A = this chain, B = another copy of it.
Amino acid sequence: MAEQPKDMLQPFDDASWAKLGELVARHRQAVLATLDGGAPYTAMVAYAPEPGFGAFLVHLSDLSAHKQHLRADPRVSLIVCEPDNGRTEILQHARVALACRAAIVAKGTDAHAAAKACYLARFPAHQMMFGLGDFDLVRLAPREGLMNAGFGRAFRVTPADLAAAAARAGQ
């Protein structure tokens, strides 16, 4: 009903790529899971997808425990859920969960300038946080994932699927 073993997953189709693209492009809120001494830990994050959905950017303070966690172990999971509207059957809400590798973007590099521009395009009000020394952009690069688009509609997500979804969303 929710996630399914890989041999029960459906092959991606065009409508599902479009749904994935819309899900990632439209929302701003995600949950990041990290390892806290080997145990799962969750935090809400604001995210910006890079063009082509090759990675997702988050902007984290040294004060956040999850930043300390991903420095110690870069294995993380990022999930974007269609927000509950309180009416639709709860398990019908679309979501995509992605196993990612996290890497802090080194300041003063071209990659940082590009990442900062991408992030601020989505969160212009966060400009002031780039003046705080303890914040870093963290790039979350997906390895694989799972999209659920409702009952019996589960799809394995590869980086190629994310690229296809980005193209369909004009990203």
CB of A146 to closest CB in B, whole Å: 8
Copies in the complex: 2
From known contacts A66-B3, A81-B31, infer whether A42 and B43 are also in contact, taking CB-CB under 8 Å. no
Alpha-carbon gap, A55 to B71, bound state (A) = 31
Give residues 97-152 of A contacting B (CB, 8 Å): 97, 99, 123, 125, 129, 135, 146, 148
The count of residues in chain A whose C-beta lies closer than 8 Å to any C-beta of chain B is: 51
Kindly list chain B residues whose C-beta atoms are within 8 Å of the C-beta of A123: 90
Pick the residue among B41, B63, B84, B86 that contacts A2 (CB under 8 A): B63
For residue A60, CB closer than 8 A to chain B, the reply is: yes
User: Closest chain B residue to A27 by CB distance?
Assistant: B84
Contact A77 B42 (CB under 8 A): yes
User: Which of B5, B33, B63, B99 touches A3 (beta carbons < 8 Å)?
Assistant: B63
Of A36, A60, A66, A90, most B-chain CB atoms within 10 Å: A90
Which of B39, B79, B125, B146 makes the CB contact (< 8 A) with A75? B39
| A1 partner, pick from B8, B31, B63, beta carbons under 8 A | B63
Q: Are B29 and A84 interface neighbours, CB within 8 A?
A: yes
Choose among A35, A44, A66, A84 the residue with the greatest number of B CB atoms under 10 Å from its CB.
A44
> Contacts A5-B63, A66-B3 hold; do A33 and B77 have CB atoms under 8 A apart?
yes
CB-CB nearest 5 A-B residue pairs: A83-B83, A33-B40, A33-B33, A29-B84, A42-B79
Q: Which residues of A pack against B, CB within 8 Å?
A: 1-5, 8, 27-29, 31, 33-36, 38-46, 60-61, 63-66, 75-79, 81, 83-84, 86, 89-91, 93, 95, 97, 99, 123, 125, 129, 135, 146, 148
